[in-house]
């Protein structure tokens, strides 16, 4: 028999594992490339995952458009929203 509800322990486990809640912030990580034993270039990266992305219509296989300004990154499934941001770009 299949039960659709989870007991409190398993509900907490599923919530923490699948990341249902929208994160308030992300930390930029870095990949350090090493060549000939010397640390070289550091490439920043963001790790984003969780069921909250599906609730925001970022489904698997869907194209995501990026808009980038200093201090801002816009992720959108709407190409026109990113184009609007690009027109407001203020690179210096």
Contacts of residue 72, defined as CB under 8 A and 6 or more positions apart, other chains included, come to 85
What's the burial of 33, exposed, middle or buried (CB within 10 Å: 0-12/13-18/19+)?
exposed
User: For the chain, what are the domain ranges?
Assistant: 1-46, 57-92
> Which of 22, 24, 6 has its CA nearest to residue 14?
6
Q: Please report the pLDDT score of residue 32 as a whole number.
A: 85
Taking only the tens of pLDDT, the chain with its 92 residues reads 444 455 665 565 555 567 788 888 999 999 888 877 777 788 899 988 888 898 888 999 999 999 888 888 889 988 888 887 777 665 54
**CA–CA dist 34, 42 (Å, integer):** 9
8 A C-beta contact, residue 76 and residue 82: yes
Q: Please report the pLDDT score of residue 3 as a whole number.
A: 47
């Amino acid at each position: 028999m299949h039960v659709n509800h989870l007991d409190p322990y398993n509900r907490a486990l599923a919530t923490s594992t699948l990341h249902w809640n929208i994160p308030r912030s992300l930390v930029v990580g870095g990949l350090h490339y090493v060549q000939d034993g010397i640390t070289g270039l550091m490439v920043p990266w963001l790790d984003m995952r969780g069921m909250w992305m599906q609730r925001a219509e970022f489904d698997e296989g869907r194209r995501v458009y990026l808009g980038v300004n200093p201090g801002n990154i816009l992720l959108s499934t709407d190409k026109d929203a990113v184009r609007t941001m690009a027109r407001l770009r203020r690179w210096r």
